[in-house]
Every structure is written in C-alpha cells, then in structure tokens.
Amino acid sequence: MKIIDYVDILSALRKNKKIFIDGDVIITPLAKEAAKRHNIEIIKKEKKMRKEIIAGNWKMNNCLNESVELAKGIIDGIKELPDKRIVVLCPPFTSLYSVSQLVSQARDERKIQIFSGAQNMYFEDKGAFTGEISADMILSCGGSFVIIGHSERRKIFNETDDLINKKVKKAISKGLIAIVCVGETLEERENSKEFFVVKRQLKQGLKELDLNEITKVVIAYEPVWAIGTGRTATPDIAQKMHEFIRKQILEIFNSEVASEIPILYGGSVKASNIKGLMAEKDIDGVLVGGASLKPDEFLKIIFYEK
C-alpha cells in the first residue's frame, strides 16, 4: 500500500505537475489539499494501459534456413494480435536481416505489432572490435530492439554494469529499444541479496538516462537460477521483484515513468506457466528462451489467455 503525502506533492511541483499511481494508494488530507492548491494531477494508471511484450530470444540456435522456417511458423500462427500486445523475435545476428524481412511484411500486411531485434551489441559505432556488431548494423538489418545485459553475457563474457550502461545509452541514441536485463544468481538469492543486486544493476545500468531516453527502455527481470534450468520463479516471487523494480524506477526517475515502463519476466517461461505470470499486476510480458524455438509452444505463450 503506497501513501501519497505532502513531500510527493512538492516533488511533483518541481517536475511535471503530475503524479501517476498504480495499485492501492492512500492520499493524505494534506497532500490532497496541496495538490488542489498547486493544480497537481493525481492519475491512477492500471496495468492494462501498459504494452505487453512477448519476446523470443533464440540465443545461439538456428542457422539461416532454420531461422527463416521458425519465423515463418510463428508468423503464420498470428493472424491478429490484441492492440496492446507486441511480439519481438531475436534471432542470431546472421539471420536478423532475413527474419526482419518476414516480420516487416507481416506487420504491413496484417497490421500487427511484430518486430525483430538483436541479442547484443557494442557501444562503439565502428572500429577494431573483432566479432562485435554496432547499433547501426542492427538497424541496417531491420532490427528495432536489442537485448542488453542478459545474464549469460554478464556471466560468460564478464559484462559489467558500466559496460551495459554504455550499450544502453548507445542503443537509445541510435533509435533502438533496449531490453535491459537484470537478475540475481541462486547464491545471491540464498544469501538474501537479490534486491541489493537488482537495485545496483538498475542504478548503474540506467545511469545518466533522461526522462525521454528511459521511454526507449524495457526492463527484463531474469532470475539466473531459473534460466534454462526448468525452475521458474512462482508468480508471487516474480511479482515481488517486479514491484520492487517499479519502485526503483520511481526513485530514479518519476511516477509517470514507473507506471509506464514495461517489465518482463524471463526464466524458463513456457505455455504451462505464462498465464499465472501474466495475471500479476507488475508483469507486462515475458522474455522467452527455449520455448521460443518451438512455433506451437511460442504461439501458445503469445496467446496465453486462450
């Protein structure tokens, strides 16, 4: 239960004269009086107003022909989408152009919100960075999204919060939408450090972004202990972290940003658990790994309410 008090009204007065609230809120009498006196709008924003994003991360799977067939299988199963739902396919970079062509055609012909994205990028525009790809390269292949800071990049390739922040800023400056991943390991959770870790990742990863830039960011919470293990955070566990993330975004930016930013869940998502996850008020979509490699399974996730 959040309480809006006089201090919140003063903060809104210094910023944009609006307070966006989500969920159950108590507004103190003093706050109500101050809001009226200073013409501060208090707007209740529900989950249904946020976009839902169903993103498939294909990781290092599928050569070109396999990627094309997978994309076709998924696209063929999408005749239409709910207005607020977005589908994102993130194939290996070697297949991004071809998948983007199929996605673009489907978007134009069926008027559906389906896009392509990359799984990683570097923060420099060009140069002697063997094996890396730039934001411009992603855009030239038709990509609209890019996954940044995935736990596998953090763990296997030793990516730091500072490096991730540089990538996020570059992606946004080029016009890409950054799916910024955060999440704790099993050891960190068992030592009750999960909130500390995620707070650090958010604070450092989103450092120096302004109120316009943060609108180009999607957060993905992926508990490392649930990725590819078959273990999934229960809807209650996931919701608690998503709520915490939204509160951190409120502290870093403001209530409007916190109420609007999509927060996805990632970690052994499949058709059998998607409905329970999506029922939670702060879960706005999913970042799917293995299940996105099977058209029938991924389509069941996309249309989870059926």
CA distances from 279 to 139, 158, 239, 244 (A): 34, 34, 10, 17
List, in order, residues 6 or more apart from 228 with CB less than 8 Å away: 268, 289, 290
Is 41 known to be catalytic?
no
Tokens of 254: 């403001």
CA distances from 92 to 50, 67, 70, 87, 177 (A): 28, 8, 12, 17, 17
What is the C-alpha end-to-end distance of the chain, expressed in Å? 32
Is 150 known to be catalytic?
yes
H or E element, residue 43: strand 41-44
List, in order, residues 6 or more apart from 97 with CB less than 8 Å away: 141, 142
Which one is catalytic: 52, 184, 188, 222?
222
At residue 52, the 3 state secondary structure works out as strand
If one counts every other C-beta atom within 10 angstroms of the C-beta of residue 263, the result is 23
Which one is catalytic: 52, 150, 159, 188?
150
Instruction: Report d(CA 258, CA 295) in Å as an integer.
Output: 33
Place of tokens 């249904």: 48
Residues tagged active-site: 150, 222
